[in-house]
């Protein structure tokens, strides 16, 4: 029913993409402003985020996981291949409630791998497929448009669908990492009770950027399906 409506009103798909992109920009601006706000709120314990990260890792027995500093702002991530929690310049030495929340979140991903958290294992399977899809879908789609070859168009759509699926699988992984982070911070008394709000708001704002990214990808997939359907109907 919904697809029939889109196929009958192809212009709607473009508005969905535009709306999703605008929402994505708003969510990115929100995470930037939220991090900036709470990065100026120092924790009373005055312990740098990289020390907090090391402490949490050690509490889980993850002594083989390295904590390192990388350039950039909010470029924090966990690399399972190198077994490294990488904290950005804006996080590594900071004692703010925002930085501690971000550091604990990235450690949460290391814990997920250690605990064999099923969603992250499933997502890992799709990483190479999603990487191939993100780099090649547009090539197949444009070739299909140029040479009027429906098969190439469909290959491009399928490859992009894997990108969307990967982003969908990312959501539970990110939300779970934030939940683990906040629980650990509270249980290990890494922040005072009244400081928890800043860390929670920072992680919530970051999580919404993943939601926004998924919305953009889904809207784009719908637009591609409408385009393919329109070309097929004109044949």
pLDDT at 49 over 90: yes
Q: In the Cβ-directed half-sphere of 62, how many Cα atoms lie within 13 Å?
A: 23
Residues 25-47 pLDDT 10s: 999 999 999 999 999 999 999 99
At 88, give phi and psi (nearest 5°). Answer: -75, 170
Looking at residue 147, its pLDDT comes to 87
- In three-state secondary structure terms, 67 is strand
Say how many C-beta atoms besides its own lie within 10 A of residue 33's C-beta.
11
Model pTM score = 0.91
**Average pLDDT of the residues in 218-234:** 83
> 83 — alpha (psi -120 to 50), left (phi > 0) or beta?
left
Q: Which of 106, 154, 174, 186 is catalytic?
A: 106
Is residue 71 part of the annotated active site? The answer reads: no
As given in the structure block, the two tokens for residue 163 are 């990108």
Burial class (CB in 10 A: 0-12, 13-18, 19+), 179: middle
Looking at residue 232, its pLDDT comes to 64
Residues 96-126 pLDDT 10s: 999 999 999 999 999 999 999 999 999 999 9
48, 90 Cβ separation under 8 angstroms: no
């Amino acid at each position: 029913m919904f697809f029939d409506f889109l196929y009958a009103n192809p212009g709607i798909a473009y508005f969905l993409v535009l709306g999703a992109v605008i929402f994505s920009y708003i969510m990115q601006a929100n995470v930037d402003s939220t991090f900036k706000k709470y990065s100026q709120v120092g924790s009373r314990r005055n312990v740098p985020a990289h020390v907090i990260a090391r402490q949490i890792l050690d509490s889980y027995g993850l002594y083989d996981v390295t904590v390192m500093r990388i350039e950039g702002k909010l470029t924090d991530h966990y690399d399972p291949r190198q077994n490294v929690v990488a904290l950005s310049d804006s996080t590594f030495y900071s004692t703010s409630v925002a930085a501690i929340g971000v550091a604990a979140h990235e450690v949460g991903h290391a814990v997920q791998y250690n605990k064999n958290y099923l969603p992250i294992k499933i997502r890992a399977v799709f990483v190479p497929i999603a990487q191939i899809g993100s780099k090649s879908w547009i090539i197949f789609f444009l070739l299909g448009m140029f040479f009027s070859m429906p098969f190439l168009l469909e290959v491009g759509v399928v490859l992009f669908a894997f990108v969307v699926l990967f982003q969908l699988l990312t959501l539970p992984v990110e939300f779970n990492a934030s939940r683990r982070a906040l629980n650990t911070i509270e249980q290990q008394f890494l922040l005072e009770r009244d400081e928890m709000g800043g860390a929670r708001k920072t992680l919530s704002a970051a999580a919404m950027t993943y939601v926004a990214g998924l919305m953009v990808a889904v809207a784009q997939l719908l637009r591609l399906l409408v385009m393919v359907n329109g070309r097929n109907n004109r044949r």
